[in-house]
Chain A
Amino acid sequence: MYGGYSERLHLPVIIALICVVVMFQASGNERIQEECNATMPPIPLEFAMGTEAYNEAMDSGKYRYVGNTKCRLCHRKFFIGRKKDPHDYAMKRLEEGGYDDNPRCLLCHSTGYGMPTGFINRERTPRLANVQCEGCHGPGNIHIKLAKEKKPAGGFLAGEDHPERLKKMCQSCHTKRWNRSYHDLHQAYIKYRNPNPNARRHVKESK
């Protein structure tokens, strides 16, 4: 008797627990589900540059992704700082849910997916996983070539030469759906001038 009662008592608790877990899962996966059913998001750099300029740049064949270890040669502080930044764990988020081969998801969670010389998969392009330097600044080969010769180097498609593009890069990934990262784009943007954007002390806004 008593055992039966206890069994009956167990059941609703278990059901409730399952409900809670499913609900949570649903709330966590809601955006993912939404994303899966939505139209294909644009390639961030294309969104930032505008299709025309983007196509022109890509067709020239000059731009290549090189990976952040190359940047480390001259920007070691940035390299170390960004290693602690959530952008460097973007791929891990996908792996956790088994979405690391979903092209939609990779567009925003890797570097240069869907673009020539960009991320393909972890086996073929292990050094372009996560949102790296070039994920925000654009392909870096030209910059490195220039940087070896002159001081204000430039050469980025979304670098200091085009600050409005860099801001649009943020917006291309941080859409209405994926907007939990910051309340104020400009404030968040400014933080990334710092080698370690999550450091306590940040570069004060100057512009």
Chain B
Amino acid sequence: MLKLKYNTPILLLILVLSISYLSFFNYESQKKLLLTQMKSDAGDIVNSITAAMIRFQDIKSTMNLQTLVNNVSFGLEIFEFRYLEPDGIIRNSMFKEEIGNIYTAKSFKQTMQGEKNLKEFFFETRDYVDVMAIYYPIYRNKSLIGMIDLAVDVSEYKKIEGSQENFALLRRQVDIMNLLQAIEGSIANSLEIFEKTDVDRFLHAYVHSAENIVQISLIDVNNTIRISSHPEMIGKKLNMRELPPPELVNIEDRLIYRTVVKSGLLDKSKDTQLMLLIDASPYAQNEQQLLQTALVTSAIALFFALVIARAIYYSALERSRSEKERLEQLVKERTHEIEVLSKTDALTGLWNRGYLEEMLEMEFKRAKRYGHDISIMIIDLDFFKRINDTYGHMAGDEVLRHISKRISDCVRETDFVGRYGGEEILVILPQTSLDAAQNIAEGIRVTIAQQPVIFESYTIEVTTSIGMSHLRQEHTDYLTVFAEADKALYFAKEQGRNRVVVFDPTIDVG
């Protein structure tokens, strides 16, 4: 009982908790899986965009006279050749690896600060080599859009004359100027073509071709959107200090997966970033479904646990109640049995002698007090010893039991029938006149005499002698009455047995 009471709920609780935990664990891991899926999707998209952008910039580069640069630097004795934007970004260079970087040469800074003039030759050392260089400006619509940085190795000229103003050098300068003017025209041309092809439109087209991409933007070092598939976004400044981790955000009631990755697309030296927004609603749906499943699983587990707990509780209650009842019943029966056992005769089931005497005394007292009649009869089996000897004790016992039963059947419920001695049976008949009692006695005698007792294969004829008496005025206790009945019985035996004799003071017993 105790075990059931405390262990089962704990077990159930653990069960529910573990089922819930399992379902939520499942939910979490599935969620993670989905997120990784999203992440790798995003990665794929970023890769393809980057590839496309690089391709785009390659086209751009070619238009920016990559071949010319190569030809110029290989064919003519040119030491360095770059195309710079006014902010110093190297748009093109004979050194492929520095394209996109910011040009940091001291002379360039000085030129941009106005300390040196554009379109004027000067001398400096680059990579341990003495060079003559020039920053040649390119204008469009009267605004500076870029410049060519060109340098030639002049170590040998300096060796020859020891002077920078020598004739050979001047001739070289004229040559270079002619070359630069030619390049200027072709750069202006290519820039025009280039401007017609704009990156924003390219990105826009890209976004439209891919269903779930919402937006692609390139963010520069200052967190300003420089290029975007959504032109209205260009120029907007984002407030993010560092690369935020990929996350799910809600934008205009739409669940969007946002990822920002480093990209060297705008400017190789700086951490420009590529921001990618992907529609995450399919993901959200999936996630919701998963969550629901997890919740339902937990709820069902909880429900079943409750039902089981309730059932167990009630059955336990029921069992304890019936157990109690059973016990009570048992106790009652036992006490009764003990009670009955102490009052009855084991063989015949009739009252025993002790009880009979108690009853005699009680009933006699009562009868005397209320002035009622009371009669008694003593029934004795005739020749009982002979039965025992002839058929055995078992037969004797059987006869006794049989006779007792018949006697009980013949009397009323209110009468007491008891075994007084070996084969003597006493019947107390309260509130019964002697006449009535005599009738009953006669009835008993006849019934017994008429029906022999069948024991195994024997048919045993039994007769009884009955002595009777009843309470009269002069009696003070039951003993006298009993003695009278006994005397009458004795007389009946003397008279030849199988008869009823009522005490009469005149009878004389020898």
Contact = CB atoms under 8 A, between A and B. Distances in A.
Contacts of A80: 127-128
A70 B127 contact: no
A123 B157 CA distance: 9
Nearest to B127: A80
A202 interface: no
A83 B156 contact: no
Interface in A46-85: 69-70, 72-73, 76, 79-80, 83-84
Contacts of B160: 123
Interface in A112-139: 122-123, 126-127
A70 B74 contact: yes
Interface in B112-167: 127-129, 153, 155-156, 159-160
A122 B74 contact: no
Nearest to A144: B74
Greatest chain B CB density within 10 A among A72, A80, A83, A84 is at A72
A57 B269 CA distance: 44
B460 to A, nearest CB: 128
A91 to B, nearest CB: 11
Contact of A76 (B74, B127, B156, B159): B127
Contacts of A76: 95, 127
Contacts of A69: 77, 79, 129, 153
A64 B167 CA distance: 29
Secondary structure at chain B's binding surface: helix, strand, loop or mixed?
mixed
B127 A126 contact: no
Contacts of B155: 126
B482 to A, nearest CB: 135
B278 interface: no
A84 B129 CA distance: 12
B293 interface: no
B73 interface: yes
B489 interface: no
Contact of A79 (B127, B156, B159): B127
B159 to A, nearest CB: 6
Nearest to B156: A126
A123 B74 CA distance: 21
Contact of A126 (B94, B95, B159): B159
A76 B73 CA distance: 14
A72 B159 contact: no
Nearest to A79: B127
A69 B81 CA distance: 13
Given A69-B79, A69-B153, A127-B156, A83 B128 contact: yes
Interface string B73-98: 11001010000000000000011000
A76 B129 CA distance: 12
Nearest to B152: A69
Given A73-B94, A126-B159, A83 B74 contact: no
A73 B156 contact: no
Nearest to A83: B128
Contact of B95 (A73, A83, A122, A127): A73
B127 A127 contact: no
A92 to B, nearest CB: 12
A165 to B, nearest CB: 27
Contacts of B77: 69
Contacts of B156: 122-123, 126-127
Contacts of B94: 73
B26 to A, nearest CB: 50
Contacts of A70: 74
A70 B153 CA distance: 12
A84 B156 CA distance: 19
A199 B95 CA distance: 24
Contacts of B127: 72, 76, 79-80, 83
Contacts of A127: 153, 156
B151 to A, nearest CB: 11
- Which 10 A-B pairs have CB atoms at the shortest separation, nearest pair first? A126-B156, A83-B128, A80-B127, A69-B153, A73-B94, A69-B79, A79-B127, A76-B95, A122-B159, A73-B73
Interface of B: 73-74, 77, 79, 94-95, 127-129, 153, 155-156, 159-160
18 contacts: A69-B77, A70-B74, A73-B74, A73-B94, A73-B95, A76-B95, A76-B127, A80-B127, A83-B127, A83-B128, A83-B129, A84-B128, A122-B156, A122-B159, A123-B160, A126-B156, A127-B153, A127-B156
Given A69-B79, A73-B73, A80-B127, 8 more contacts: A69-B129, A76-B95, A83-B128, A83-B129, A122-B159, A123-B156, A123-B160, A127-B153
